[in-house]
Amino acid sequence: MSIDLTENSITKAVQCTFDGCHDARTRELFLTLVRHLHDFTREVRLTGEEWFTAMDFLERVGKITTETRQEYVLISDILGVSVLVDLINDQSRPCTTDSTLLGPFYVEGRPTAPNGADISGDVPGMPLFFTGRVVSPAGDPIPGARVDTWHSDGDGHYDVQQAERLHGRLAMRALLTTDEEGRFWYRSIAPRYYPVPTDGPGGEIIRATGRSPMRPEHIHFWFHAEGYDPLITMLFRSDDPYLACDPVFAVRRSLIVDFVQHDPGAAPDGTVVDEPFQTVDWTFTLSPAR
């Protein structure tokens, strides 16, 4: 009965309207959503003004969202929902590399590169040499695995955030392939910590709640190999000051690694570098496809 509803009876009245829903999962999702939404509204004694603020906020999230600016995803990230969904659905096995968020800066049209290539796209910065291995849980090399990697520059900016300066060129990203021993390696520049985009409604949440927008320094990876589950992950720099307060909650202890600092001299690829440089070496373990 939807007449003369009260603060409490309105919840059941709305839930009853889902009785005709034939898909059990859809029904469950709406029943539970309404229960939590109504409980939230009652618990905080939401005012009309606050409700209008929320509607205006959602309108502005919609307006700023484009194919390359995913503000809804960012808000899901900074409220911890993206990682929570990952954690709930995580089917990785104990002996495989942990997965974590994709983030908004992956680009489909990234260039392919041979092992050993300089993927910095001529963006200046401290040289960084990455050497990696991709293996099975038994430690066997996985040859022919496709390895997407992308990262920021030394000021914490991705190529797509400086399209004008780079004349639309993609940089600091590539698609590599592992060799017969499951190895891949490249030269680039050292990344840096950076803020999540704060010039939209997501930034308003960060400021209103007094949070830090800084993501700790990291390099992204996305692996595809025949017979294995794809793996999306990141490696974080072990001495980064923002490790414990990542605004998108993506840091996992198992993904914190040393970015080793070197004086000028011989680099892992056999070249001689006449300035200080960094090296990172890591083995990634993929999960056999289910």
Angle at 29 between CA 57 and CA 73, to 5 degrees: 40
**For residues 117 and 132, what is the distance between their CA atoms, to the nearest angstrom?**
14
Q: Is 286 helix (H, G, I), strand (E, B) or coil?
A: coil
In the bound complex, what is the minimum distance in angstroms from residue 47's beta carbon to ligand BEZ?
31
Nearer to Fe ion, 60 or 252 (CB): 252
Q: Is 260 helix (H, G, I), strand (E, B) or coil?
A: strand
Site for ligand BEZ in 135-174 (CB under 6 A): none
In the bound complex, what is the minimum distance in angstroms from residue 37's beta carbon to ligand BEZ?
25
Q: What is the DSSP letter of 243?
A: G
In the bound complex, what is the minimum distance in angstroms from residue 196's beta carbon to ligand BEZ?
4
Site for ligand BEZ in 40-79 (CB under 6 A): 74, 77
Stretch that binds ligand BEZ, among 87-95, 103-111, 130-138, 262-270 (CB under 6 A): 103-111
Identify whether the C-beta of residue 279 lies closer than 8 Å to the C-beta of residue 131. yes
Stretch that binds ligand BEZ, among 49-57, 59-67, 97-105, 203-211 (CB under 6 A): 97-105
Residue 74 site contact among Fe ion, ligand BEZ, none (CB < 5 to 8 Å, cut-off depends on kind): ligand BEZ
Site for Fe ion in 210-229 (CB under 5 A): none
Nearer to ligand BEZ, 36 or 211 (CB): 211
Nearer to ligand BEZ, 83 or 225 (CB): 83
Site for Fe ion in 89-108 (CB under 5 A): 103
Look up tokens 């502005």; give the residue.
Answer: 60
CB contact set of 93 (below 8 Å; sequence gap of 6+): 137, 287
Nearer to ligand BEZ, 182 or 216 (CB): 216
Q: Is 236 in the site for ligand BEZ (CB under 6 A)?
A: no
Of the candidates 199, 58, 172, 165, the one whose C-alpha atom is nearest the C-alpha of residue 105 is: 172
Nearer to ligand BEZ, 101 or 235 (CB): 101
Identify whether the C-beta of residue 146 lies closer than 8 Å to the C-beta of residue 225. yes
User: How many Å from the N-terminal Cα to the C-terminal Cα in the chain?
Assistant: 48
CB contact set of 95 (below 8 Å; sequence gap of 6+): 137, 285
Phi-psi region of 170 (alpha: psi -120 to 50; beta: other; left: phi over 0): beta
Nearer to Fe ion, 103 or 182 (CB): 103
Residue selected from 83, 171, 196, 219 as contacting ligand BEZ according to rule CB under 6 A? 196
Nearer to ligand BEZ, 133 or 215 (CB): 215
Q: Could you tell me how far CA 222 lies from the centroid of its own chain?
A: 11
User: In one letter, which amino acid is 144?
Assistant: G
| Positions in the binding site for ligand BEZ (CB under 6 A) | 74, 77, 101, 103-105, 196, 215, 248
Binding site for Fe ion (CB under 5 A): 103
